[in-house]
Amino acid sequence: MTATNWPPTPRGYFAIGAERMSKALNLGNLMRSAHAFGASFTFTVGATYHALEARADTSKGQWHLPHYNWRSLDEMALPQGCVLVGVELTDDAIDLPSFRHPLRAAYVLGPEMGSLSEPLLARCQHVVRIPTRFCVNVAMAGAIVMYDRVKSLAHYADRPMRPGGPPKIS
């Protein structure tokens, strides 16, 4: 691929956010990853600070894509047709590697010291879990979900049967 069409663009759009985040640094890291992976917007529900306080976002994502600070779940307003997908370690969650991502999705992660609230989980059309032995950092979890989405919905060459990359075509 040439520089003008790299990286491959996945179909659809997505957003990513978190409920009740308590650390601006994690929001900054999540926003930086969202900007890098091509998110359409980022959001928080019930956070106690604003996007401009997310100093870990050295890409200045808040200047390049919208960020919504919803005070409560009642305020949260997603675009019509956008599917809310919770990311949480629940018994009935779908393992991320087995999940087919919706074309229009908003992924929501839980807080650093807790889980997604029951009202938010009830609003999710799907709940996925990252197959780890225990919880990972919220910003890391967001990056894993975004990577999986891009890998699933963008057009990359199939993985070869042997270690290494696909053969070079001359």
Give the 3-state DSSP-derived string for the chain, with helices as H, strands as E and coil as C: CCHHHCCCCCCCEEEEEEECCCCHHHHHHHHHHHHHHCCCEEEEECCCCCHHHCCCCCCCHHHCCCEEEECCCCCCCCCCCCEEEEECCCCCCEEHHHCCCCCEEEEEECCCCCCCCHHHHHHCCEEEECCCCCCCCHHHHHHHHHHHHHHHHCCCCCCCCCCCCCCCCC
Q: Which band of pLDDT confidence, cut at 50, 70 and 90, is reported for residue 25?
A: confident
Q: What is the mean pLDDT of residues 13-42?
A: 90
Mean pLDDT of 150-158: 85
Kindly report the CATH number that applies to the domain delimited by 18-153. 3.40.1280.10
Is the model's pLDDT at 59 over the cut of 80?
Answer: no
Q: Are 153 and 12 in contact (CB under 8 A)?
A: yes
Instruction: Give me the amino acid identity at 130.
Output: I
Cross-strand bridge partners of residue 83 = 105
Q: Which residue has the higher pLDDT, 50 or 14?
A: 14
| DSSP bridge pairs for 70 | 45
- Return the sign of the alpha-carbon dihedral for residues 94, 146, 137, 124: negative
pTM exceeds 0.85 for this model: yes
Q: How far apart are CA 54 and CA 40, in angstroms?
A: 18
Q: Using pLDDT thresholds of 50, 70 and 90, give the confidence band for residue 44.
A: very high
Average pLDDT in the 49-64 region?
A: 57
Task: Return d(Cα 165, Cα 161) in angstroms, integer.
Answer: 9
Pairing mode, if any, of strands 83-87 and 104-109? Answer: parallel
